[in-house]
Amino acid sequence: MNEEVDVLLSNPFLETLAFFSVAVLALVVFLAIFEFVTRYNDWEEIKNGNLSVAMAIGGKIFGICNIFRFAIMNNDSILHSLIWASIGFVLLLVAYFIFEFLTPVFKIDAEIQKDNRAVGLLAMIISISMSYVIGASVV
């Protein structure tokens, strides 16, 4: 079976489609996990026009996809890319909790839910920046 899969993935179009499909599916799963750890409903807030939530989610989307980019570039198989991207995602999630811990003056989630755009922008920049650091360390 592995030989058949290897033959199929030797086609660059099919390989691209396979990596794309896995990345999109993982993005949906990882976003659902982020949705679970926030104290508000991300998509409901975005629907209501909360720009801070949109910026924070946008940063998370960019961060997750950027980590996948590094994982795909540094690995030959979809499985290894997915494993390393998952490790990267866990690190991005840890960075989110560290950000929350390092701001004891206010609660990140509460400020983002109140549409505090400064906090939303900072959350976006942290997600994007950390994705480059995490991605650079992905093997």
The DSSP secondary structure of 69-96, one letter per residue, reads HHHHHH-SSHHHHHHHHHHHHHHHHHHH
In the chain, how many domains are there?
1
Q: What's the token pair of residue 98?
A: 């560290």
pLDDT digits (tens, 9 = 90+) for 99-130: 888 888 889 999 999 999 999 999 999 999 99
What is the Cα–Cα distance from 27 to 73, expressed in whole angstroms? Answer: 17
Q: Which of 4-13, 24-33, 53-62 has the lowest mean pLDDT?
A: 4-13
What is the Cα–Cα distance from 139 to 136, expressed in whole angstroms? Answer: 8
* Whole-structure pTM value: 0.89
Q: Any idea which residue has 């960019």 for tokens?
A: 62
What is the Cα–Cα distance from 9 to 92, expressed in whole angstroms? Answer: 29
Q: Report residue 78's pLDDT band, with 50, 70 and 90 as the boundaries.
A: confident
Domain that holds residue 32: 2-137
